[in-house]
Structure 1
Amino acid sequence: MALTFYYGSGSPFAWKVWLALEHKGIAYDLKLLSFDKGDTKAPAFRAINPRGLVPTIVDDGFALWESGVILEYLEEKYPQKPLLPKETRARATVRRLATEINDYVKEASNALAELVLYGDKPATKEELADAHQKMLDALAPFEAAFVGPYLAGELSIADFTMFPFVRMLKRIEDRKPGQGLPDDRLPPKLRAWKGAIEKLPYYEKTTPPHWKG
């Protein structure tokens, strides 16, 4: 029986799980939920995940949510094409990177999106400059510690955790030219890293549907 994957278009947390499912070649049934239509709050979905959040998976009757935990579960249940190194310290490093991304990069990326896309009034030049700098500051430690070709060497959960927040910067720029952070403003190693992720064979398939228009 295929795993069921509940997804919301544009959710960075759902996107990283989708990338992992594709990378590992896990069979899944994609259930696209609409935020605008309130699908995640519907009783049928709340019966699966009482918090009403995506991503959620149901694997052979076992429901699980929280994206980081889902990635760990997939790694243990489906060990093919691993996304965590075998060596203890290397595994700890990948987990640390993923935690730092959620603590710092997510905050800066979300703050810029909130300012530009969802604010009640247009952002001032000063506000934009401050938000841009905070994002670049959040990325700087990853640039300095970059191993290559991916964040920690081999492709890992850290890469799938980071990518949606970095890709959001271009999404902001596409919608509000001059207010996001185009690729040429990213640190050079991370700019090349972003290009490498976008060359993965399943990147296009997992791109949020409403971003393709």
Structure 2
Amino acid sequence: MALILYHGAGSPYGWRVWMALEHKRLDYELRVLSFDDAEMKQAAYLAINPRGKVPTIDDGGFTLFESGAILEYLDERFPQAPLLFPGTVERRALIRRKAREAEQYAAVALETLVWAVFYTPRERWDDALIARGREEFARELAYWESAIDGPGLAGAWSAADFTLYPLIALALRIERVRTDLALRAAIGPRLAAWMARVEALPWFARTWPQHWERGGLPG
């Protein structure tokens, strides 16, 4: 039986796991839940994830949520290459650190923009709050510009790349709604090149959110 991934289109956390499954070339069944219909809050889903969030995986009856824990599980459960945490013990520690940095800093900075733009009616947009969120996320983009170490963030493709990329892609998606954010302009050449390398991965297009437009850098 193929592993089941419960995902919500555009969720950077579910997308992170989806990219990991493709990277590891695993068989899986994708079940996309609707945010608009609040399917994450329905009893059937709450029975496997009482937090009511995505992602969740079901591996033959073993269910697991929280995307970081899922990535660790996938490497232990399916240790064949390619790995999400490859290399020496030092390299694996570096991957974990960078993935954690993306979760702790880039994702937290992005949350301000998500709530201030996506989940707030236009007539109630708080320009000062949005400007503050933009500044925080732009600082993260500047940090990651100098944090790339190889083709990926930490050498070979890893959990770190699949953690950060969806966050930046979502930020660019927000910029389509609030066009004065100018986040695309804040992406430096090294970070833009890294994003292009991610997008060139042979399986990448399969993971792109269906309701998002394509063309150039995602957004």
TM-score higher than 0.5: yes
- 4+ residue runs over 6 A deviation: none
Corresponding letter in the other structure for 2:199: E
**In 2, Cα distance between the equivalents of 1:94 and 1:162?**
12
Corresponding letter in the other structure for 1:24: K
For the 8 Å contact 1:84–1:94, the answer to whether it is kept is yes
Asked whether 1:173 is paired with 2:184, we answer no
Q: In the TM superposition, what are the counterparts of 1:3-82 in structure 2 within 5 Å?
A: 3-79=3-79, 80-82=81-83
Q: 1:136 Cα shift?
A: 1.9
Report what 2:101 is aligned to.
Answer: 100
The C-alpha deviation readout for 1:61-96, integer Å capped at 9, x for no partner, is: 111111000000111111221121231111101101
Aligned-residue Cα RMSD (Å) equals 1.7
**In 2, Cα distance between the equivalents of 1:104 and 1:94?**
15
Q: 1:148 Cα shift?
A: 2.3
Report what 2:208 is aligned to.
Answer: 207
**In 2, Cα distance between the equivalents of 1:155 and 1:185?**
24
For the 8 Å contact 1:9–1:32, the answer to whether it is kept is yes
Asked whether 1:118 is paired with 2:119, we answer yes
**In 2, Cα distance between the equivalents of 1:119 and 1:188?**
32
Q: 1:138 Cα shift?
A: 2.0
**In 2, Cα distance between the equivalents of 1:127 and 1:42?**
32
**In 1, Cα distance between the equivalents of 2:87 and 2:43?**
41
**In 1, Cα distance between the equivalents of 2:30 and 2:86?**
28
Q: 1:180 Cα shift?
A: 4.9
Report what 2:192 is aligned to.
Answer: 191
Q: 1:129 Cα shift?
A: 4.0
Check 1:141–1:185 CA distance in 2 against 1; reply closer, same or farther (3 A cut): closer
Corresponding letter in the other structure for 1:112: L
Corresponding letter in the other structure for 2:207: T
For the 8 Å contact 1:172–1:180, the answer to whether it is kept is no
**In 2, Cα distance between the equivalents of 1:115 and 1:50?**
26
Secondary structure of the structure 2 residue equivalent to 1:58:
strand
For the 8 Å contact 1:172–1:181, the answer to whether it is kept is no
